[in-house]
A and B are shown apart, each in its own frame.
Chain A
Amino acid sequence: MRDSYICGGRAIGGMVEIMADDKRILFSNGAIPRLFDRNEEPNRKSQLTIEFSDGSFLCVGIQLYGGLWCFSQGGFDNIYYSVAQEKPSPLHSDFDESYYLRLFETEKSEKLSLKAFLATEQRIPGLGNGTLQDILWTAELHPKAKVGSLSSDDRQRLLNSIKNVLKNMADNGGRETERDLFGKAGEYTTKIGRTTYGEPSALDEAEGLRERIIWGKIYFCPKCQRI
Chain B
Amino acid sequence: MIEIPEVVVLADQINESMAGKRIKGIKIPQVLAGSLSTLATPTITIL
Q: CB distance B21 to A47 under 8 Å?
A: no
Answer yes or no: B40 CB below 8 A from chain A CBs: no
Answer yes or no: B34 CB below 8 A from chain A CBs: no
**Looking at the complex, which of A30-38, A103-111, A143-151 is the stretch in contact with chain B?**
A30-38
Answer yes or no: A16 CB below 8 A from chain B CBs: yes
CA distance A31 to B26 in the complex (A): 16
Known contacts A9-B10, A9-B14; A29 and B1 CB within 8 A of each other: yes
Q: CB distance B23 to A52 under 8 Å?
A: yes
CA distance A32 to B19 in the complex (A): 18
**Total CB contacts across the A-B interface at under 8 A:** 165
Q: CB distance B9 to A1 under 8 Å?
A: no
Task: Provide the residues of chain A in CB contact with B14, threshold 8 Å.
Answer: 6, 8-9, 16, 18, 33, 181
- Name the one of A7, A16, A52 contacting B11, with C-beta atoms under 8 angstroms: A16
Q: How would residues 19 to 38 of chain B score, 1 for a CB under 8 Å from any chain A CB and 0 otherwise?
A: 11111111111001000000
**Looking at the complex, which of A152-160, A170-178, A191-199, A201-209 is the stretch in contact with chain B?**
A170-178
CA distance A6 to B25 in the complex (A): 13
Task: Provide the residues of chain B in CB contact with A89, threshold 8 Å.
Answer: 4, 8
CA distance A164 to B3 in the complex (A): 15
Q: CB distance B11 to A174 under 8 Å?
A: no
- Name the one of A20, A49, A174 contacting B9, with C-beta atoms under 8 angstroms: A174
Q: CB distance A2 to B47 under 8 Å?
A: yes
* CB closest chain-A residue, reference B25: A51
A45 to chain B, nearest CB (A): 8
Known contacts A2-B23, A3-B22; A170 and B5 CB within 8 A of each other: yes
Which residues of A are interface residues toward B (Cβ below 8 A)? 1-18, 20, 27-33, 35, 45, 47-54, 56, 58, 63-64, 69-71, 89-91, 126-131, 166, 169-170, 173-175, 178, 180-182, 186, 188
Q: List 19 A-B contacts (CB under 8 A).
A: A1-B45, A2-B23, A4-B22, A4-B23, A6-B18, A6-B21, A9-B14, A11-B11, A15-B7, A17-B11, A20-B23, A27-B10, A33-B10, A35-B18, A54-B22, A71-B43, A91-B4, A169-B5, A186-B9
